Structure 1
Amino acid sequence: MAGRGPLRVTLLGAFEVSRGGDVLPVAGARLQALLVRLALAGGRAVEPSALVDAIWPEEPPAGAGPALQTLVSRLRRALGSADDVTQVAGGYRLNVDPADVDALR
């Protein structure tokens, strides 16, 4: 199980997500694209349409909404907590402090 503490997201250089010194496995281009887009929002909500555009820039799949929900569920499992990615008015948000995202410092 991953350690406790805030999520830390490294986007500049080698992509990495960690918590309490433990690297969390976020495998797959689509899952990483979802995390990157959420992390760049710095804890603010991101509209589902913006997430779909980030994950599938060329052509979203038929049923993009359910596909996005599946990816969000997979990301929550990878991060170790459903509280890390929450559905809020206006979309989804990654519960991360902007200071813990290297690209936002």
Structure 2
Amino acid sequence: MRFGVLGPTQAYADDGAPRPVGGRRLRALLALLLLDADRTVPPGRLVDGVYDADPPQRAANALQSQVSRLRRLLPDVQIEFGPAGYRLVVDPQQVDVHRFAALAEAGRAALAAGDPG
């Protein structure tokens, strides 16, 4: 799968077909996990990002419910849970923002080496 967070949060199947990610909270959760693709994100940071200033009383349970919904929505994607938080198991190069950052760095390095092409 490929993912986009530059603009609307999107998921794309391997054939390029968009996979709808409905709901503001679900898109926020996916975006937060994608910004740290393949790294563990602490639950507190996810709760803050998903629920903003109005988290539910049982925030950890509500977050787990959102993660379960995301897993059902994107069954090809693995979301791991561990003592430090949640990790979306995805190659960062499958996420547009990480791919863009890598290409921009490669361009800066080429320019510094005298290769403006």
* Fold shared by both chains (TM-score > 0.5): yes
Higher relative contact order (CA 8 A, sep 6+): 1
Matched to 2:82, the amino acid is V
Q: Does structure 1 residue 48 correspond to structure 2 residue 43?
A: yes
Q: Does structure 1 residue 104 correspond to structure 2 residue 88?
A: no
Cross-structure match for 1:4: none
Ranges in structure 2 where 5+ consecutive residues have no aligned partner: 100-117
Q: 1:34-75 CA deviation, whole Å, 9 max, x = no partner?
A: 000000002100010010001011121110011000000000
TM-score (norm 2): 0.78
Matches within 5 A, 1:1-80: 7-20=1-14, 21-80=16-75
Shift of 1:88: 2.3
TM-score (norm 1): 0.86
Q: 1:10-46 CA deviation, whole Å, 9 max, x = no partner?
A: 1112431012123212100000000000000021000
Equivalent pair of 2:9/2:31 in contact (CA under 8 Å) = no
| Largest Rg, 1 or 2 | 2
Cα RMSD between the aligned structures? 1.3
State the alpha-carbon separation in 2 of the partners of residues 31 and 62 from structure 1.
18
Q: Which structure shows the bigger proportion of residues in helix conformation?
A: 2
State the alpha-carbon separation in 2 of the partners of residues 97 and 89 from structure 1.
22
State percent identity of aligned pairs: 44
SS at match of 1:43: coil
Q: Does structure 1 residue 84 correspond to structure 2 residue 73?
A: no
State the alpha-carbon separation in 2 of the partners of residues 102 and 50 from structure 1.
22
Q: Does structure 1 residue 95 correspond to structure 2 residue 97?
A: no
Regions of 4+ moved over 2 Å: none
Matched to 2:98, the amino acid is L
